Amino acid sequence: MENDINVGQTIKEIRKNKKIKQREFPPLSRGTVANIESEERTPAPENFQLILAKLDITLQEFDYIKNGFKLTTREALIKEFIDHKHSLYSERTINLARNMDVYLVNNPNDQVIKDYKVVLNVYKTINEAQAYKVNKAEQIATEEIWNRIDRQKIWYYYDIDLMTRIFYVFKLEIAWKIIQDTLKQMDRYENYAHYGDSRKTKQAFLLNSAKFLINRGDFKNARPLLEKAKLLTHEHESVILELYSLAALATINYVENKISKYQANNEIARLCTLFVSLGREQFANDIHNDWESFKQEYNPLPN
């Protein structure tokens, strides 16, 4: 259940805790502030922003305090979804999908949660099939999301996040367009800090896009994405993502005959050892299995 404290009460509690008097909100009068705190008057948007500035509180933090220093159910679902960076956690995916279903019973028109539920269904299907394949219903749902967002000149935060998670269910030509468009749209949110680090979101997207292209045999377009991912992950000390990018680069270097199969095997083994030393055995298994699967499907000239 959400906390039912109102806006006026929240303003009053923060103000009193900071030892700020009602008369200290110029140009608002003491009486105006008192009426807002007692809920006898709803603050105009510009006055509300003025009050927040005096309290040194952002709107996002104000809502968090208003809800009893907790995220709302909706915000908690979104945060858990955005933090859900790895599709390796199938049980976590199922639990989150179940919680979204419960929320949507009372909030059936929440487009963001509905879209994220589609993505969770896609995750589940891909995990079960161990391939970038979805069923017809999921294909239709993801196409509807793409068609809606593609019509926009500017993509917003949730639009970008959605596209970073569904591009790989489309045919290569469309997926490549989505990858390019998403990277351009991401530039607007480079310094945006909401539920997560936008820099890591970009790093993960570069890596996932490159891995998708490798899976589709498009090594030429995959390499620049991986080189960028490697640079950013090293620059921002994103160790886990950097190790993943190095594993993918080993694959491309092998394909381009820059290293032998023996050298590629050694590089993957080295990275697996590093993952294990970090307590990330599941990630070690992930890159090991990816590499073994790739070798079975890819047959270059012997070297």
* pLDDT of amino acid 32: 95
Residue 119's SS3 state is helix
For residue range 29-40, what is the model confidence (pLDDT) as tens digits?
Answer: 999 999 999 999
Tokens 């009893």 map to which residue?
A: 68
C-alpha dist (Å) from residue 133 to 136, 158, 198, 214, 262: 10, 23, 28, 16, 31
C-alpha dist (Å) from residue 129 to 116, 126, 211: 20, 5, 17
Alpha helices by DSSP H, the chain: 7-17, 30-37, 45-55, 59-66, 73-83, 90-106, 111-129, 136-150, 157-166, 172-186, 198-215, 219-235, 239-255, 261-277, 281-297
* pLDDT of amino acid 92: 82
The lowest-confidence range among 105-119, 167-181, 286-300 is 286-300
Left, alpha or beta for 185 (phi > 0: left; psi -120 to 50: alpha)?
A: alpha
* pLDDT of amino acid 86: 55
Residue 26's SS3 state is coil
Fold classification of 7-66 (topology level): 434 Repressor (Amino-terminal Domain) (1.10.260)
DSSP, res 255: H
Work out the pLDDT band at 303, boundaries 50, 70, 90.
very low
For residue range 211-264, what is the model confidence (pLDDT) as tens digits?
Answer: 999 989 999 999 999 999 999 999 988 999 999 999 999 999 999 999 999 999
- Does residue 71 have a pLDDT over 80? yes
d(CA 226, CA 232): 10
* pLDDT of amino acid 74: 95
- Give the orientation angle of helix 261-277 with respect to helix 281-297, to 10 degrees: 160
d(CA 47, CA 189): 27
Cβ atoms of 8 and 36 closer than 8 Å: yes
Indicate the class that CATH gives domain 197-303. mainly alpha
Averaged pLDDT score across all residues of the chain:
91
Question: Which of 26, 48, 46, 27 has the alpha carbon at shortest distance from 36?
Answer: 48
